[in-house]
């Protein structure tokens, strides 16, 4: 299960408005800064790219859990 503080890699797109978009380039390593649960969609992960750290409290991107992969910096899938 993904939790705040985990490192994840983007492996899919997200919905932005009415269309699927690559808001963060696929393959980018990110830090999880928020988690929400949607009854219809399931777990939604709020994250920011590692290059944008430190996190200033806003500007995160939200992806479904299926569109991110948990791991760590050498990129080893957990």
**Residue 47 maps to which CATH number?**
2.30.30
**Residue 2, domain member (yes or no):** no
**pLDDT tens digit string along 20-44?**
888 899 999 999 999 999 888 889 9
| Percentage of residues of the chain with pLDDT beyond 70 | 91
Provide the residue range defining the domain that includes 47. 7-77
Name the percent of the chain lying above pLDDT 90.
Answer: 51
pTM attached to this predicted model: 0.82
CB 24 within 8 A of CB 39: no
Please check the confidence at residue 8 and state whether its pLDDT lies above 90.
yes
Q: Which residue from 71, 75, 78 is spatially nearest to 32, judged by alpha carbons?
A: 71
pLDDT digits (tens, 9 = 90+) for 43-57: 999 999 988 877 777
Q: How many domains does the chain have?
A: 1
- Predicted local distance difference test score (pLDDT) of residue 49: 92
């Amino acid at each position: 299960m993904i939790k705040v503080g985990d490192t994840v890699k983007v492996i899919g797109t997200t919905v932005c408005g009415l269309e699927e978009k690559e808001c963060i380039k696929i393959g980018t390593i990110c830090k999880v800064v928020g988690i929400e649960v949607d009854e219809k969609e399931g777990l939604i992960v709020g994250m920011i790219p590692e290059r944008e750290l430190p996190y200033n409290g806003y500007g995160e991107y939200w992806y479904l859990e299926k569109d991110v992969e948990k791991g760590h910096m050498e990129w080893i899938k957990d």
